[in-house]
């Protein structure tokens, strides 16, 4: 049985908190129907609501993150006043629900490293709405950056052995943690049970993780590869064939429509990068203008400034298209 949650509008939240709970520890992928309007890019698991869960026993915030397919950085941002290492029984935890799709082709895999998030567009099934599946993942550290650009999966390996590059072996030796020339398959293999090679010089991979580094998912922690939860990499490995396109982008600010409402989603800087508030604002204006047909609408500037200040990754509405009846539209056209 999936974890039991209740999804509600903010105005009704307090009245129903006693109903919130989860029942087990199974992780479940975030699967969304793509918007019916192909020009829209805001996806929602549960319409017009946000989601909460109540801890059934003492655990860590990161245990909840894994169960609901969130990374560490994301769930900490959503619960800034919560002790990530100790959640008390019955404590209420905020979860992610709505997202804006990255500005990439809706084909294959997109990795938006700015949000530690993957978007996989499976082939459409006859008679079913097109979907996108989203996974949390880890990315390269400040000194081992994950490269950007379009690539593809060129090889898949189950139960891989790890041959640490000499540069990584030197780093570990300098830290008093020498590595062997080969790490065999098993629970302590940093590649996990599945890996997929990308067509990028230097040996970049999408792979799983060892049992000691589960909590690093959703953080800037790898040597440049993309690291996923064990259950997620297994599902992805079984779903995508060799040759699948992969788009690696860095989009800390995203803008998109849902029906007639324009949303903005903003994420904080990666380690080693600094964007001023003025730079964020200028970047946001450019994206808003692009989303609105190269015209800047009369958007809610206070809502925009709040989103660019919070940087919590939650899409915020900033503009709603006015309703135009046929008479009004014809008057605008004539004038």
State pLDDT tens for residues 43-89: 997 665 568 888 778 889 888 888 888 988 899 999 999 998 999 88
**Tens of pLDDT along 313-324?**
999 999 999 875
Instruction: Look at residue 261 and give its three-state secondary structure.
Output: strand
The distance from CA 110 to its chain's CA centroid, rounded to whole angstroms, is 10
Instruction: Look at residue 150 and give its three-state secondary structure.
Output: strand
pLDDT bucket at 331, cuts 50 / 70 / 90: very low
Residue, of 174 and 155, whose pLDDT is higher: 155
Residue, of 32 and 221, whose pLDDT is higher: 32
Backbone angles phi, psi at 333, to 5 degrees: -65, -45
Q: pTM of the entire structure?
A: 0.84
Q: Is 207 a catalytic residue?
A: yes
Answer left, alpha or beta for residue 149, where phi above 0 means left and psi between -120 and 50 means alpha. Answer: left
User: Bridge partners of 132?
Assistant: 32
> What share of the chain in percent tops pLDDT 90?
47
What pLDDT score was predicted for residue 204?
Answer: 86
The one catalytic residue among 197, 207, 223, 267: 207
The one catalytic residue among 197, 223, 225, 267: 225
Backbone angles phi, psi at 96, to 5 degrees: -80, 155
Residue ranges, comma separated, of all CATH 2.40.440.10 domains in the chain are 108-249
Instruction: Look at residue 232 and give its three-state secondary structure.
Output: helix
**Tens of pLDDT along 111-154?**
999 999 999 999 988 888 899 999 999 886 554 567 889 999 99
Ranges of H-type helices in the chain: 13-16, 61-67, 72-78, 166-174, 230-239, 277-291, 301-310, 326-334
Instruction: Assign domain 108-249 one CATH number from 2.40.440.10, 3.90.226.10, 1.10.1200.10, 1.10.10.10.
Output: 2.40.440.10
Contact 216, 226 (CB under 8 A): no
| Residue-averaged pLDDT of the chain | 82
Residue that the structure tokens 């590649």 belong to: 191
Q: Is 25 a catalytic residue?
A: no
CA distance 83 to 61: 7
Contact 15, 233 (CB under 8 A): no
Residue that the structure tokens 């080969």 belong to: 182
CA distance 13 to 11: 6
Residue, of 170 and 122, whose pLDDT is higher: 122
**Tens of pLDDT along 14-36?**
333 333 333 334 455 689 999 99
Residue, of 237 and 169, whose pLDDT is higher: 237
What pLDDT score was predicted for residue 18?
Answer: 30
Contact 271, 298 (CB under 8 A): no
CA distance 221 to 138: 6
């Amino acid at each position: 049985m999936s974890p039991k949650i209740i999804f509600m509008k903010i105005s009704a939240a307090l009245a129903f908190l006693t109903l919130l709970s989860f029942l087990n520890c199974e992780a479940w992928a975030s699967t969304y129907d793509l918007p019916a309007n192909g020009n829209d890019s805001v996806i929602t698991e549960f319409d017009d609501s946000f989601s909460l869960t109540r801890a059934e026993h003492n655990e860590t915030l990161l245990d909840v993150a894994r169960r609901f397919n969130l990374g560490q950085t994301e769930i900490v941002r959503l619960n800034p006043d919560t002790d990530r290492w100790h959640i008390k029984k019955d404590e209420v935890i905020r979860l992610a629900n709505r997202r804006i799709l990255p500005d990439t082709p809706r084909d294959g895999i997109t990795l938006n490293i700015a949000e530690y998030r993957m978007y996989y567009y499976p082939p459409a099934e006859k008679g079913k709405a097109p979907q996108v599946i989203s996974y949390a993942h880890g990315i390269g550290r400040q000194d081992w950056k994950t490269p950007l650009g379009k690539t593809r999966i060129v090889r898949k390996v189950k139960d891989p052995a790890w041959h640490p590059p000499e540069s990584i072996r030197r780093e570990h030796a300098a830290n008093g943690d020498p590595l062997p020339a080969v790490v065999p398959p098993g629970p302590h293999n940093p590649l996990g049970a599945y890996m997929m090679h990308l067509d990028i010089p230097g040996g970049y991979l999408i792979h799983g993780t060892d049992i000691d580094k589960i909590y690093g998912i959703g953080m800037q922690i790898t040597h440049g590869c993309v690291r996923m939860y064990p259950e997620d990499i297994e599902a992805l490995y079984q779903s995508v064939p060799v040759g699948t396109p992969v788009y690696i982008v860095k989009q800390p600010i995203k803008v998109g429509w849902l029906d007639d409402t324009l949303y903005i989603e903003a994420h904080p800087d990666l380690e080693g990068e600094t964007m001023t508030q003025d730079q964020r604002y200028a970047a946001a204006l450019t994206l808003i203008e692009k989303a609105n047909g190269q015209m800047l609408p009369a958007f809610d500037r206070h809502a925009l400034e709040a989103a660019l200040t919070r940087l919590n990754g939650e899409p915020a509405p900033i503009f709603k298209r006015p309703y135009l009846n046929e008479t009004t539209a014809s008057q605008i056209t004539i004038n």
